[in-house]
């Protein structure tokens, strides 16, 4: 397992060791001790899975403190562009985002700590996306930022007219109007 720093502190790309032969492959998707050795000391309590078709954009979502969630995300099949936006007010990268392509083929994972908005766009015909969370879902703590916020200027690797976004996500506030307490 290789743990790779990104330009934003505390965001990590995790490349598992994949052992394959003509029968298939094997890999560890989670190893608490190896993550802790890299400084990722997160106790996960919930796993989620979603299946989406090409063009779907989910996010940018987060939960407000004290119910914020860290996430370890990966794609089982298909390909997505995964995006995290730094909402930590005292961070030198506050308001900046980082993205990485995750796929069933590259097997990369993305660690998104508390204090970040998170979302993804589906680049393949469909994708199965799974993630671990370190805190339980809490509807009252739900928050988000609209995916096409001009201040963030995220390139979702899709033309905006092809983005399939829920009505709920289209009504999210902009970055400058959003509520966050990190």
Catalytic residues: 61, 131
Hey, which residues does 75 pair with through a beta bridge?
Answer: 129
Residues sharing a CB contact under 8 Å with residue 68, sequence separation 6 or more, in sequence order: 62, 114, 115, 135, 141, 182
Q: How far is CA 55 from the centre of its chain?
A: 16
Strand duo 109-112 + 71-77: pairing: antiparallel
Element spanning 98, H or E: strand 97-103
Cα separation of 126 and 77, whole Å?
8
Residues sharing a CB contact under 8 Å with residue 88, sequence separation 6 or more, in sequence order: 94, 115, 116, 182
Which tokens is 52 given? 């989406």
Q: How far is CA 106 from the centre of its chain?
A: 16
Q: Please say whether the beta carbons of 178 and 144 come within 8 A.
A: yes
């Amino acid at each position: 397992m290789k743990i790779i720093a990104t330009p934003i502190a505390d965001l990590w790309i995790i490349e598992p060791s994949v052992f394959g032969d003509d029968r298939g492959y094997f890999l560890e998707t989670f190893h608490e001790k190896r993550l802790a050795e890299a400084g990722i000391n997160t106790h996960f309590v919930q796993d989620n899975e979603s299946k989406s078709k090409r063009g779907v954009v989910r996010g940018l979502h987060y939960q407000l403190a004290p119910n914020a969630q860290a996430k370890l995300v990966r794609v089982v099949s298909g390909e997505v562009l995964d995006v995290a936006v730094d909402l930590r007010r005292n961070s030198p990268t506050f308001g900046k985002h980082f993205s990485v392509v995750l796929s069933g083929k590259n097997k990369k994972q993305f660690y998104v700590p508390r204090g970040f908005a998170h979302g993804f766009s589906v680049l393949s015909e469909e994708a199965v996306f799974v993630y671990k969370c370190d805190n339980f879902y809490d509807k009252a703590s739900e928050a988000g930022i609209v995916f096409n916020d001009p201040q963030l200027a995220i390139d979702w690797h899709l033309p905006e007219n092809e983005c399939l976004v829920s009505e709920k996500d289209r009504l999210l506030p902009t970055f400058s109007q959003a509520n966050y307490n990190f």
